[in-house]
């Protein structure tokens, strides 16, 4: 639970519902919607979910030591050289 006593999955579902309403425009909607879908389906933070969505939109691998990215089968992660 968060400070607002709303679980991650529930918050993602509510935001997806809101942002899909007619008249609502979302800048860079691909990564945003991808992030919210990932939040709904995986136990990850928004930043990781958003970066994964950005990487997918750009067809780019993610350079990170964070293994949370490995939860996403459609995203490639590599560890940067030390």
**Does residue 72 fall inside a structural domain?**
no
| DSSP secondary structure letters along 56-70 | HHTT--EE-S-GGGG
Q: pLDDT per residue over 20-66, tens digit each? A: 999 999 998 999 999 999 999 999 999 999 999 999 999 999 999 99
**Does residue 73 fall inside a structural domain?**
no
- Beta partners for residue 62, in sequence order: 77
**Does residue 60 fall inside a structural domain?**
yes
> How many domains in the chain?
1
**Does residue 3 fall inside a structural domain?**
no
**Does residue 33 fall inside a structural domain?**
yes
**Does residue 49 fall inside a structural domain?**
yes
Q: pLDDT per residue over 21-31, tens digit each? A: 999 999 989 99
pLDDT value of position 1: 54
Angstrom distance (rounded) from CA 51 to CA 75: 10
Structural domain harbouring 33 = 8-64
pLDDT value of position 21: 95
**Does residue 58 fall inside a structural domain?**
yes
**Does residue 71 fall inside a structural domain?**
no
């Amino acid at each position: 639970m968060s400070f607002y006593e709303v679980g991650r999955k529930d918050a993602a579902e509510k935001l997806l519902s809101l942002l899909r309403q007619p008249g609502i425009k979302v800048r860079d909607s691909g990564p945003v919607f991808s992030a919210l879908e990932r939040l709904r389906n995986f136990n990850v933070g928004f930043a990781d979910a958003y970066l994964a969505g950005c990487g997918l939109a750009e067809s780019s691998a993610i350079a990170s030591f964070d293994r949370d990215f490995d939860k996403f089968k459609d995203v490639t992660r590599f560890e940067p050289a030390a």
